[in-house]
Amino acid sequence: MKFRFQRKYLALPYLAFLLLFVVLPIILIVYYAFSDSTGRLSIWPLQNFFSDTDKLEVLVISLIFGFINTVLCLLIGYPVSMLLANKKYNKNIVLVMLFIMPMWINFVIRTWATRDLLAWMNLSGGKYPELATIIGLVYNYLPFAIMPLYTTMLKMDKSQIEAASDLGANPVQVFFKVIIPMTKPGVLSATTMVFMPTISSYVIADILGEGKVTLFGKYIELYYKSDWNNGSFLALIMLVLIGVTSLVSRKFTREDNTQVRSSIW
């Protein structure tokens, strides 16, 4: 029988790539996470993680930072995106791109510049390490929130809004009962794009917190320099955590969304 080239075979290189360089490394990490320095299987890193409260504390703190950063980015990003998507306030795409352009300038440079600026405003990491870190995080991740929100709001069905106000709803009701549900996929997308990188990033916290704010990502790096087993276990924890968050957010979408969440925006 002649070999029929089916279109789905086009995905083979991609599949091979993913298996080799995404799945396999994770298996290796799992191996290291459950072995000790001699290579034998052991649950020592597991015990170490739960017996040493520092690691848990740092993890919880990272989650809190992630949460706060996400909330702030949404609080600022949502109205900005609404205004940008509304023809009344913004006629062309230039303004939107301006919000995204800082991403072109290397974030390491931007973060060190922010450090100087904060010091000049007397908000330096020396005095307020956590505040400085949060400011830096919001500054860096705001575009990540604006992008999906803006895209979703562009596609909003304006006629539903008009219909709602025609039916007698006041602006507040319109906002909460019509606009917010319609932008849910955007909000979810924005949350994902901000929350997950935040809990795993550490460079910004390190620079702006003057070395005093140590997030989980930094911990992983710290341990990796000398102790692969503990480091791998921490990495695994991070992976599991992120996986769980992603599953939970996916459940949310499926529950009340008929639209297939088919894009990243």
CB of 71 to another protein, least distance (A): 9
Q: Alpha-carbon torsion 237, 239, 244, 246, what sign?
A: positive
Closer to another protein by Cβ: residue 55 or 187 = 55
3-class secondary structure, 75:
helix
CB of 262 to another protein, least distance (A): 5
How far CA 76 is from CA of 138, 187, 258, 265, in Å, comes to 9, 12, 28, 18
CB of 164 to another protein, least distance (A): 18
CB of 215 to another protein, least distance (A): 7
177 token code pair: 């009962």
83 token code pair: 């205004």
Closer to another protein by Cβ: residue 169 or 210 = 210
- φ and ψ at residue 76, rounded to 5 degrees: -85, -40
Residue 41 pairs in a beta bridge with 35
Closer to another protein by Cβ: residue 226 or 258 = 226
253 token code pair: 């979408």
Closer to another protein by Cβ: residue 167 or 225 = 225
